[in-house]
Structure 1
Amino acid sequence: MKKAFFALASLAVALPFTLAVKNSTESFALLTKLPQCALTCLATSVANSTCAPTDTACVCSNVPLNAAISACVQSTCTIKQSLTTLNITHTLCEDPIRDKRNFYNILSNVFGVSSGVAVVLRFYSRWKSAQEFWYDDYSIIAVMVLGIPSSVMNVQGLTYNGLGLDIWRVGFRQITDFIHVFFAMELLYFSQIGAVKLSILFFYLRLFPGPSIRKWTWGTIIFNTIFTLLFVLIGLFQCAPIRFYWKRWDNEHKGKCMDINALGWANAGISIALDVWMLALPMTQLVNLNLHWKKKLSVAAMFGVGAFVTVVSIVRLQSLVKFSNSINPTWDYIAIGYWSTIEINVGIICACMPSIRLLLLRAFPRFMGTTKDRSYAYSHNRSGANQKIPGSGSGGSKGGSSGSGSANRTRIGGGVTLSSKAPNDQEEVRTSTLELVSLGSRKDGEGEGGGNGNGGVGIGVEPDHERRVDQGNWV
């Protein structure tokens, strides 16, 4: 860390030194604030250069001179003295102030509000469909509970304490506070990403009844849970004592830390691999789905948004290159900040897309590619075959569908029912779900003998709560 900040000092004084500055009151006042070590380096280096002491442009831009001053400052000044020198010399040389704070705040607020709207639509869809909450909903609630303080700290913690500015433009107390908040944000990031993945995986359990994919999904849930808890604990105790993480920057405190860069890369690499695996799980069920191409495309697109999250995670990797070795963290970390913000919030939106699709399906049934024949619903019998049951449309009650205007119930073999309070306009939604569920049951049932003796329905291995396929109405 000391070496890194001395390198920053080198880079700093590489711009200036301005005994060369115009003889003005303001310039003189700034020069008097320079640390003695920097003044000595300046005087010696300028005397041995080709620049005249009064030639401001030459002193500010001469590369060999700057290199000499940098080497001198690196060997004689402390980190705080180096940062003070940087701030003064950049001011004397009239360098522009780089500032991305507003950009970061706007991005954080826009994505935070967007994901919040997606969650509201998710639960509105739940309410409209009379569906009960389950683990996927609890997981997304956990993400939002963690996301609210994250959004607040983005603005009131990170940018307030200098994120988006060069570090020499930030006060020493602010640097400590910035790194402290960044430490907390790192732990929240690990937790939020893990909870988003859990929500999506639990949704897979709602959707796919086949024993094979359920085993893979449960295995992925266990792995993701262990992975998340492990990295939260490692992140929390990566330095000893813990506070050394945000106090070590000035090289005035004692402690030790593990390789923080390796921690970030390991987490990102495993997370990306897990994203790819989770993207492949539903696609294996959708490839042979017997749906109209428009409907299949809309369902595939819904899951395919996960590919964008993976792309964001990969792009975020490049921002980790400077993570632990940055000599200008308040500026360099802005890329890590906004890519992490995008990744988490797009992940939340992705997890909510099935319920949003259901709302769109009700509002725009033709555009979303729903089934044209409302007079039949699909049912899966005990032998694993699909049958069309008459009367599941606008008025009939045959074959397991009852009622013409109140609650409809469609029977899928093995005593499993799909229920909805809505009449005709909901039949399209139910049929789409039944086709999807039947496919997963049929494929796994044919390969594994049905799992529980019910002709491949493959749901009996789970508690009663999970047997209700009405939880699959999301699709």
Structure 2
Amino acid sequence: MVWALPIAIAVLSPHAYATQSLTDLELPTCASRCLDDALNLSSCADEDDSCLCNNKAFDRQFDACLDANCLARDYFGAINGDLESKDRADSLIAAKNLTDTACGFEVRDKRSVVIWVAGVGATLAYLAIAIRLYTRYFINLGGLNWDDWSTVVTAAFLAPLTAGAILLAKNGLGKDTWTLPLKSITETLWIFYVQEHLYIICTVLVKLSLLLFYLRIFPDATFRKIVWATLVFALCFGFSALFAFAFQCSPVKHAWHVWDEEHPGTCVNINALVLTAAALNTCADFWIIVLPIPGVVKLQSSLRMKLQVIPMFCTGFFITGVSIYRAVMLTEFAKTRNPTWDYCDGGYWSIIEVDVGIICTCMPAIRKLLGQVIPKVFGSTHKATADDPSKTAGHSSRTPRDLRSFKGPGASEGESFVQLIDIESRSAVSHHEPDGDVGHS
């Protein structure tokens, strides 16, 4: 009965009613037995509200018994088993309010956090995408490459992901399950089911955007083969995860009806599924971020230029940290008895992961724009760069041919590795001088 809600602790416990004794409560048979067992093991008197309100051992004993012996609907029928579901839910809310008032409990509500995280995160992500597109069209004067298109597609999926997060909060994510109407619980779990798939799509697209960016700017044949292999893995992981989460339960709708224990159906080991997907996602994030670091370290460029690329990698490591933190929070994913509260943190951290991931893929373009606005800080340390090949004329130490050696396939005349980090030394270029078009595999 892992989905049984701990509602009865609030609804059935004697301290919820200051004027009603335990013997007067009309409880389901399973709940009555659990209450008797918990009271027998408690050091509090039966009508000592103050003691019972703060007795965690009593609550744990009562909760464990209910979890093992009672169905979720028994909790809702604890007040009046003859009431319809909606009325039972409304009565439940009233009972919970009495409980909180009697015991001085604060009403827990983190819905505003979810809404703010989703709204602010999406705003920053779309701003980063806008800067990226502006840079491509008005500074580099070129069209979109495959990595840019991947980011645009990610933006398309970010919209429903953000809207879904806000809708989840409006529907009850961030509140205790026992404070919600029955219908809201089912609807929240259905939206969460959809959000799982949108999250997978967005995170995979972010990975593809970074990998396609690597393919565009790095000409080394061995490195490119590694990137292609990683890209294939990311795609396979994405499709496999989508399939696994889509059919985690049979029938599919059992995924959002399983909580009430009244609908027939079976589910796979959700904990194993979630943790496996989270572990693979985290490892992939870490691998993709560290992949270009050895090449960047070996480049003969100024310390200032290398320091400018650090924020991109730091952002990438932050995403990896978020993935790890999210995985830790999901260890009790399938065991929670309070899903609308316990899923809240994992939900908004998933949104943060996607938003920051998008920003990370756009950071080279952001640096490029800052180089135009604040050239003394973010601009190139040399007058001629691959992003402005017209200025290379007459400078024998930095010819267009030298700079083109850093181009990957599909790069425009103004595109080179200086998008990631500006190259100061011609010797760094000479180490990569191609025999023809090395950018193409």
Equivalent runs, 1:195-210 vs 2, <5 Å: 195-210=205-220
What do residues 254-276 of structure 1 show as CA deviations (whole Å, max 9, x unaligned)? 11111111111111111111122
Which residues in structure 2 correspond to 1:120-159 (within 5 Å)? 120-128=130-138, 129-156=140-167, 158-159=168-169
Residue type at the aligned position of 2:124: S
Task: Say whether the 8 Å CA contact 2:370–2:378 is kept in structure 1.
Answer: yes
Q: CA 1:438 to 1:361, structure 2 compared with 1: closer, same or farther past 3 Å?
A: farther
Q: Is contact 2:193-2:256 (8 Å) kept? A: yes
Question: 331, 352, 355: which one pairs with 2:341?
Answer: 331
Question: What amino acid does structure 2 have at the position aligned with 1:117?
Answer: L
Moved more, 75-84 or 349-358: 75-84
Q: Within 2, Cα distance between the matches of 1:123 and 1:248?
A: 44
CA RMSD in angstroms comes to 3.8
Flag the structure with more relative contact order, 1 or 2, with Cα contacts below 8 A and sequence separation at least 6. Answer: 2
Q: Identity over aligned residues, as a percent?
A: 31
Distance 1:50 1:398 in 2: 88
For 2:148 and 2:60, the matched residues in 1 are separated by 58
Structure-1 separation of matches of 2:132 and 2:371: 14
The amino acid across from 1:57 in the alignment is S
Give, in angstroms, the shift of residue 126 of structure 1: 0.8
| 1:178 positional shift | 0.7
Moved more, 161-170 or 69-78: 69-78
* Candidates 296, 301, 307, aligned match of 2:306: 296
| 1:318 match | 328
Question: Which residue of structure 2 lines up, in the alignment, with residue 385 of structure 1?
Answer: none
Give the letter aligned to residue 56 of structure 1.
D
Task: Identify which range, 42-51 or 195-204, moves more after superposition.
Answer: 42-51
Could you list the per-position Cα deviations for residues 173-220 of structure 1 after superposition, in whole angstroms to 9, with x for gaps in the alignment? 111111101110011111110000000110111111121211111111
1:318-467 map, 5 Å: 318-368=328-378, 370-372=380-382, 374=383, 393=391, 396=393, 410-412=400-402, 419-420=413-414, 439=428, 442=431, 453-454=435-436, 458-461=438-441
In structure 2, what is the equivalent of residue 468 of structure 1?
none
Q: CA deviation at 1:229?
A: 0.9
Question: Which has more radius of gyration?
Answer: 1
Distance (whole Å) between structure 2 residues aligned to residue 427 and residue 325 of structure 1:
50
**Which residue identity is paired with 1:352?**
C
Q: 1:165: how far off?
A: 0.5
Aligned to 1:472: none
CA shift in 2, pair 1:56/1:92, >3 Å: farther
Q: For residue 54 of structure 1, report the CA deviation from its aligned partner.
A: 5.3
Q: Please, which moves more after superposition, 40-49 or 285-294?
A: 40-49
* 1:37 CA drift (Å): 4.1
Q: What do the CA deviations read for 1:238-266 (whole angstroms, capped 9, x no partner)?
A: 11111010011111011111111111111
Match of 1:22 in 2: 19
Between the aligned partners of 1:170 and 1:273, the Cα distance in structure 2 is 37
The amino acid across from 1:442 in the alignment is H
77, 80, 87: which one pairs with 2:73?
A: 80
Q: Tell me, what secondary structure is at the counterpart of 1:320?
A: helix
Residue 380 of structure 2 aligns to a residue whose secondary structure is coil
Residue 4 of structure 2 is aligned to residue 5 of structure 1? yes
2:98 is the alignment partner of 1:92: yes
Correspondence 1:108 to 2:108: no
Q: Structure 2, unaligned stretches of length 5 or more?
A: 79-91
Q: What SS does the aligned partner of 2:360 have?
A: helix
CA contact 2:31–2:66 (8 Å) conserved in 1: no
Q: What corresponds to 1:240 in structure 2?
A: 250
Q: Which amino acid aligns with 1:111?
A: G
Unpaired segments ≥5 residues, structure 1: 380-390, 402-408, 421-425, 462-475
Corresponding position of 1:56: 49
Counterpart code for 2:141? A
Asked whether the 8 Å contact 2:115–2:169 carries over to 1, the reply is: yes
Cα pair distance change 1:174/1:363, threshold 3 Å:
same
- Hey, what's the Cα distance between the residues in 1 that align with 2:179 and 2:308? 49
